[in-house]
Structure 1
Amino acid sequence: MEVLNFIGDWTNEHPVATGIIKFIVWVILIVAIIGILRRFLRKSLPNTSVRYKSQKGVEIVGYVLIIFLSISYFTGNIKDFTLAIGLLTAGITITLQELILSIAGSFYIFFVKVYKPGDRIEINGIKGDVIDIDSIYTTMMEIGQWVTSDNYSGRIVKLSNAFVFKGPVYNYSKDFPFIWDEFNLPIRYGSDVELAKQIIIRVASEQLSEYVNDSISNWKTIVDKYYIEDALVEPTLALTMTDNWIQFNLRYIVDYKKRRYTKHLLNSLIGKEIEQTDGKVLLASSTVEIIRIPTLDIDQNK
């Protein structure tokens, strides 16, 4: 009884401290419930997508409850300490500004739909596939670095959500899951240029027809949604005369996940077609032409 009386007297004498302690206890209780529910969902739901979205939903609901709890406490039961709370909030904001920006960034990513798990993005100079988004970090499977083309490096990167406010976010898959790619083919002077054009365009059209058809409807959606002009999605060819060869530049549209394989396939098939022209079309290589050999005067006596 003495302990209870002491607690009661202390509570009456220090209402502010009591309110703060209650607030902290409630926050800890909500965080603990969030953790328990997330573990329960992780073990109970078999579907990966449903499990992930359910966990994120529980996490967001928990944060919303904490926000409402904070508002009710700091504007209701602890009115007399508005100044103290203001100073405390200012100090926390300065000290934990990166953390606050990260949390704000997570809400921005969620509501504005900047990107979602499964998207391929480039942010802060890091490119990869998004595999998780939590309240603080975006987790990506890295692409590139010491690995050529769009291949996984094997590293998992955690990036602060605050970076969505600090620079551009390149999304390869949102709204329009296709990208334009190109490569150059050097054709030797004296080759049948028209035949070379026909071979390259025919092979590209045959191999890329599926991407072209799928991208047309997607591109119409982009044109309707954004202020952007219509674009040509069929393969195009441009010629440039250089010192050593005629450069054929093939530009085409491709699924963002199949860029490397598609370039390999086009190069292989076009190369085989050129070999079957019996020398009418020849690939060029760097050459050195000697215009004149200088004469040398040799004095045998010396």
Structure 2
Amino acid sequence: MEQIKNWLIENPTLFSIIKYVLLVSVVLIIIQIIRRLLRKHVLDTTARYKSQKGIEIIGYAVLIILSFSYFTGSIKDFTLAIGLFSAGIAFTLQELILSIAGSLYIFIVKVYKPGDRIEINGIKGDVIDVDSIYTTMMEIGQWVSSDNYSGRIVKLSNAFVFKGPIYNYSQDFPFIWDEFNLPIRYGSDVELAKSIVIKIASEILSEYTINSKSQWKDVVNKYYIEDALVDPTLAITLTDNWIQFNLRYIVDYKKRRAIKHIINNEIHKEVLKSNGKVNLASTTLELIKIPEVKIDIKQNNN
């Protein structure tokens, strides 16, 4: 060992080259270790490919910086080079790191879980899977009306939990308020119309009303929120064309469209049975006066 040490001292150029080769080898080994870890733990093909490419780019950039600084003597501290390398990795893989942090946040805080209906980053759907990188959703809405599935499966980065609001339709309280307007013609029996609407809504929605009351109490106890009325309510507004009935009620978040159809259909049946006492309105035009039209016909005797 003493002879090797003396030989290296006598040959400083060779010693410098050996140090440089060892330094490059360490960087290359670190790059390969990180690539293997990514290949093993990142299951998504796209994310794995991009992260491995990012590591390669960062590695080559670090090698260039180290080579330049080594031979010019600008950076002599190896720990500084390692710091630059780590910063480069963090910058290149910031989206991946944020996604992994997002998955931990979703799991610990219980932001949502598979089976929940959420809206995040402008995308609405049912969560069907949550992994370390992505949240997978079955999309609803878009080109289809109401809350029906569009048929598209959406993969969304978990990083979005830190970038905007998350609307959860089912967490803690799996019910939502819905409403629709019903136009009643002037001259109809308003009291009879009110009783028809409230009676049908109460019968159809009784199960949801009973179940929602107990769960709403839990929500009130858990959060700083005032109590709310979950029974069906009816508000009346007089318009230029008709009496507008606004029915507001609570319903299961997955059955909004179906329940609205049933309520409308039953109300229509009862209105027809009222023998003209209650009539649904539509946009109409009333002619107050028809202007006189004078026609002057001149006959030509020639």
Shorter-chain TM-score tier? 0.7 to 0.9
2:268 is matched with 271
TM alignment of 1:166-205, pairs within 5 A? 166-205=163-202
How far does residue 19 in structure 1 lie from its aligned partner after superposition? 8.7
Residue in structure 2 matched with residue 21 of structure 1 by the alignment: 29
2:249 to 249, 252, 267: 252
Deviations 1:188-240 (A, max 9, x none): 11111111111111111111111011111111111111111000000000001
C-alpha distance in structure 2 between counterparts of 1:285 and 1:25, whole Å:
72
Match of 2:230 among 229, 233, 237: 233
| Structure 2 counterpart of 1:154 | 151
Q: 1:106·1:136 contact (CA, 8 Å) conserved in 2?
A: yes
Q: CA deviation at 1:103?
A: 1.7
Alpha-carbon distance change, 112 to 246 in structure 1, aligned in 2, over 3 angstroms: same
Q: What is the alpha-carbon distance in structure 1 between the residues aligned to residue 85 and residue 139 of structure 2?
A: 39
Larger Rg: 2
Report the Cα offset of residue 262 of structure 1: 0.3
2: CA distance, partners of 1:109 / 1:203 = 41
Q: CA deviation at 1:183?
A: 0.6
Q: Is the 8 A contact 1:16 1:81 kept in 2?
A: no
TM-score by length of 1: 0.76
Residues 284, 22 of structure 1: alpha-carbon distance in 2 compared, 3 angstrom cutoff = closer
TM-score by length of 2: 0.76
Give the superposition deviation at 1:110: 1.3
Give per-residue Cα distances to partners, 1:41-76, cap 9 Å, x unaligned: xxxxxxxxxxxxxxxxxxxxxxxxxxxxxxxxxxxx
Supply the distance in 2 between the matched residues of 1:247 and 1:29 (Cα, whole angstroms): 64
Q: Write the letter of the residue equivalent to 2:271.
A: I
Partners of 1:165 and 1:126 in 2: CA distance: 15
For 2:119, give the aligned amino acid.
E
State percent identity of aligned pairs. Answer: 71
Gaps of 5+ in 1: 1-9, 36-79
Specify the SS of the correspondent of 1:14: helix
Q: Aligned match of 1:84 in 78, 81, 100?
A: 81
Q: Is contact 1:105-1:165 (8 Å) kept?
A: yes
Query: Could you tell me whether the CA contact under 8 Å between 1:141 and 1:155 is conserved in 2?
Result: yes
For 1:259 and 1:24, the matched residues in 2 are separated by: 53
Note the alpha carbon deviations across 1:224-260, whole angstroms, 9 max, x for none: 1111100000000000101111000000000001101
RMSD: 2.4
